[in-house]
Amino acid sequence: MQGSTVDSGQTALNYQTEAIASGHHGEHPDHRIFGVIMFLVAESMIFLGLFAAYLTFKLNTPDWRPEGESELELLLPGINTLILIASSFVLHQGDSAIKKNNQAGLRIWFGATALMGAVFLCGQIYEYFHLPFGLKSNLFASTFYVLTGFHGLHVLFGLLLILGVLWRSRKSDHYNSEHHFGVEAAELYWHFVDVVWIVLFTLLYLL
Amino acid sequence: MAQTQVPPEAAKAAHATGNGGPEWRKYISFSTDHKVIGIQYLVTTFLFFLVGGALATAVRTELATPQADFVSRELYNSLFTVHATVMIFLWIVPAGTGGFGNYLIPLMIGARDMAFPKLNAVAFWMIPPGGILLLSSFFVGAPGAGWTSYPPLSTVSGQAGEMIWILSVLILGTSSILGAINFLVTIIKMRMPGMGYNQMPLFCWAMLSASALILLSTPVLAGALILLSFDLIVGTTFFNPTGGGDPIVYQHMFWFYSHPAVYIMILPMFGMISEILPVHARKPIFGYKAIAYSSLAISFLGLIVWAHHMFTSGTPAWLRMFFMITTMIIAVPTGIKVFSWLATLWGGKLRLNSALLFGMGFVSMFVIGGLSGIMVASVPFDIHVHDTYFVVAHLHYVLFGGSMFGIYSGLYHWFPKMTGRMLNETWGKIHFVLTLVGFNMCFLPMHWLGLQGMPRRVAEYDPEFATINLVCTIGSYILAVSTIPFIINAVWSWIYGTKATGNPWQALTLEWQTASPPPVENFYDEPVLWSGPYDYGTDLLQPGEDKSVEELLAEVNANPG
Ligand code: HEM
Ligand SMILES: [Cu+2]
């Protein structure tokens, strides 16, 4: 490189100690969390693309929610939304618990989150069966079902992650204040699903 | 500059990777070694390149005469659709990122492996099923709506084949996203101590930029394909105007991926060329920082110019201006790279071997494609040549001329590192000449075809275009034949070639500081950053002096500081 040389004080000397520990065939926890974040960036882009498509359809269609279907009941999805948002906070308690080596706390809070997530999904399915329009009724209905359905799949996946953490935490030494990558990854994912829902809810129900 | 260690001696190269069992076995296993995975990618994608090439030859054979007499029109549509899909999603993208990226990045940054070795293997093993799935579509009526798969055409014709197309592109896209996550984490987190971003080899910069593009754009394609498959299977009307939908939305989502995709394909090649030219010109790269940062600039600009593919899709005039101007601005960072490469070659002690020949071929072909790119970027001209053979010429110069010459150059350059054997130079030069002649004979005349108005994607055409088309077809046959010397050379040399030393080209990046092929965890001793990657000991070498790296290192060791 033009002119700039390497700081020799920093080069090979501590390679053995540091880089081998992290560059080895095992997966370093720091790297894994960073990897999860990258994955969530990719996921966000799928949703961003779908949201952009939704907005374009909406802006180009004169009566976006056709007569007779204009009433999207807000009560049920509203409650659902509150449950999902609350669950993010509940889940965070579990993460704090394990950082204090509190295994029981982890199980309780994660169990509660799983329950709330399941309630959300049931609510969504209940709503699907009681809406006055179907997947192919019109463009609005199609985007509504595809977007909420795609999000629902993400909730389901997040739920599975949480259940996976619960399953593993049966063994009392599986997670502790030092090693809790699984806990953190599930938490990050769940927050992500939550944030996406808030945007989705605003777009589909409120605007 | 005062680091005082010698790279591992060739003596250690003797028992490089041996861990029992025949050597080739590891290439068909679920290995988590980035080097094995890189070679798996390169070999697999090369096989798909041959498949794509066979399809291309069939396409050109059909076009040898003005009538549709070789295959039916439907089959013709499927041939060029699958040809393009294979070339893009199964050859250039996975070979550039998955193949070279996996092989080189950990070596170049002094890491033992990628950040997530298992994920890496998973990403690779999605490629063969994805590719076989795509090809299997020929049994049920292959997709025929072009590699862009625009609705409404894609939702009314050849449903089963179209669905297979969507599925396989989703699989291949997922693989490429998983790969990109791995590259980003590896490059950002796992550089050896002392290697700041500005000491990083340029290939890593290019891969960083390409991976960021993959991460941000590929998911949008997935979104488009999800909506498209609902239209296709369920009968929703997202992209169908009769149901209130809008096909243009698909085009936007598609090109939001596929324009960046051309940079996903070309950035790794840019990176490789930036590695290869200085080594074989025996001269430091000119403008390291300019090349490094222009990769980032290209990534950013690449994300905001997609609608230059939609000048004739009813895009409003003011928007067309925006996309025209931003597109033309990309020429600036690209031009910076080209000028830096030329300045690197200028006055260098060129070793005119196959790697450098293909490297220079890359630069010249890419420049031609870039120039026609500026032409089609200007709206009035594009309206004239859109969907004609001019665009076909442009895209093949950049994609095929650019990417393929780049990949070949990389293969010649790193073959000794990968296999521990040298490629045969004579065969390499025959390969180069045939490729260069065949390529230009095939694609240069297409500019004229396009300017005279021959539309693309048709099986029969006006007889006035017959002669030029025949020339193109003959060129394509030469191109097809040109792969034979390469295949013979690669297979023969891999088994019987002259043994390569750790550093046959006297190169300075870290991958050459270990045995060829490198041992399982890459380095016996910790690698040493004894200068920036391209210094070529310029501050050590007297004018007119020609010393090997080993000699220079010995000198540095003798009087540190
Ligand atoms: C990085 C290398 C490049 C690659 C791999 C590439 C690839 C392609 C491809 C594949 C197409 C045709 C897409 C299709 O309709 O099927 C295309 C069209 C186009 N390219 Fe490029 N390109 C590159 C560089 C450039 C540059 C440097 C410019 C302008 C400065 C440019 C401007 C355009 C425009 C405006 C079109 C649309 C033409 C039309 O459809 O009428 N490209 N390119
Ligand atoms: Cu483009």
Q: Please check whether residues A60 and A21 belong to one and the same domain.
A: no
Structural tokens at position B350: 């060129």
Q: For the stretch A121-149, what's the b/e string if a residue is b when 16 or more beta carbons lie within 10 angstroms of its beta carbon?
A: bebbeeeeeebebeeebbbbbbbbbbbbe
Q: Please check whether residues B484 and B527 belong to one and the same domain.
A: no
**Per the CB < 8 Å rule, is B116 touching A4?**
no
Q: Please check whether residues A149 and A169 belong to one and the same domain.
A: yes
CATH number at residue B325: 1.20.210.10
Closest CA to B377 of B309, B430, B312, B428: B309
Q: For the stretch B261-291, what's the b/e string if a residue is b when 16 or more beta carbons lie within 10 angstroms of its beta carbon?
A: bbbbbbbbbbbbbbbbbbbbbbbbbbbbebb
C-alpha distance from residue B90 to each of A202, B46, B83, B225, B437 (Å): 40, 9, 10, 18, 25
Q: Please check whether residues A102 and A177 belong to one and the same domain.
A: yes
Given a contact cutoff of 8 angstroms between Cβ atoms, the answer to whether A168 and B266 are in contact is: no
Structural tokens at position B186: 């590896």
Q: Please check whether residues B253 and B317 belong to one and the same domain.
A: no
> What is the four-CA torsion angle of B226, B228, B230, B232, rounded to 10 degrees?
-140
Q: Please check whether residues A103 and A45 belong to one and the same domain.
A: yes
Residue with tokens 């004080």, as numbered in its chain: A9
Q: Please check whether residues A105 and A186 belong to one and the same domain.
A: yes
Cut 0.95: pTM above it = no
Mutate to test the pocket of ligand 1, among B91, B92, B264, B309 (most ligand atoms within 8 A of CB): B309
Domain containing A39 equals 31-206
Q: Please check whether residues A54 and A110 belong to one and the same domain.
A: yes
| DSSP conformation class of B231 | I
The predicted complex's ipTM stands at: 0.89
Q: Please check whether residues B329 and B306 belong to one and the same domain.
A: yes
Domain termination residue (choose one: B473, B498, B523) = B498
Confidence band, pLDDT 50/70/90 cuts, at residue B125: very high
Domain termination residue (choose one: B472, B498, B524) = B498
Q: Please check whether residues A10 and A101 belong to one and the same domain.
A: no
Q: Please check whether residues A133 and A160 belong to one and the same domain.
A: yes
Given a contact cutoff of 8 angstroms between Cβ atoms, the answer to whether B361 and B405 are in contact is: yes
Residue B409 lies in a domain: yes
Chain B within 8 Å of A55 (Cβ-Cβ)? Answer: no
Q: Please check whether residues B244 and B354 belong to one and the same domain.
A: no
Domain termination residue (choose one: B498, B522, B542) = B498
Q: Please check whether residues B224 and B338 belong to one and the same domain.
A: no
| DSSP conformation class of B240 | -
Averaged pLDDT for residues A2-20: 39
Q: Please check whether residues A42 and A25 belong to one and the same domain.
A: no
**Per the CB < 8 Å rule, is B535 touching A5?**
yes
Domain containing B119 equals 34-203+215-258
What is the rounded distance in angstroms from the CA atom of residue B114 to the CA atom of residue B111?
Answer: 7
Identify the pLDDT of residue B561: 37
What is the rounded distance in angstroms from the CA atom of residue B514 to the CA atom of residue B416?
Answer: 12
What is the rounded distance in angstroms from the CA atom of residue A117 to the CA atom of residue B55?
Answer: 50
Mutate to test the pocket of ligand 1, among B250, B397, B398, B405 (most ligand atoms within 8 A of CB): B398
**Per the CB < 8 Å rule, is B113 touching A142?**
no
Q: Please check whether residues B358 and B488 belong to one and the same domain.
A: yes
Q: How many structural domains are present in chain A? A: 2
Of the partner residues B237, B285, B289, the one whose CB lies closest to the CB of residue A139? B237
Q: Please check whether residues B484 and B560 belong to one and the same domain.
A: no
Q: Please check whether residues B70 and B185 belong to one and the same domain.
A: yes
Shortest-distance atom of ligand 1 to CA B334: 27
Shortest-distance atom of ligand 1 to CA B266: 1
Given a contact cutoff of 8 angstroms between Cβ atoms, the answer to whether B95 and B46 are in contact is: yes
Q: Please check whether residues B311 and B386 belong to one and the same domain.
A: yes
Q: List the alpha helices (DSSP H) in B190-312.
A: 202-229, 247-281, 288-302
Closest CA to B407 of B370, B354, B475, B443: B354
Q: Please check whether residues B8 and B133 belong to one and the same domain.
A: no
DSSP A129-179: HH-S--TTS-HHHHHHHHHHHHHHHHHHHHHHHHHHHHHHTTSTTSS-SS-
Each residue of A90-113: pLDDT tens digit?
A: 999 999 999 999 999 999 999 999
Each residue of B100-114: pLDDT tens digit?
A: 999 999 999 989 999
Residue B209 lies in a domain: no
Enumerate residues with CB within 5 Å of ligand 2 (an ion).
B 259
Q: Please check whether residues A11 and A112 belong to one and the same domain.
A: no
What is the rounded distance in angstroms from the CA atom of residue B31 to the CA atom of residue B64?
Answer: 45
Each residue of A27-58: pLDDT tens digit?
A: 456 789 999 999 999 999 999 999 999 999 99
Q: How many structural domains are present in chain B? A: 3
Confidence band, pLDDT 50/70/90 cuts, at residue B546: low
Residue with tokens 């076009």, as numbered in its chain: B63
Each residue of B156-192: pLDDT tens digit?
A: 765 789 999 999 999 999 999 999 999 999 999 999 8
CATH number at residue A161: 1.20.120.80
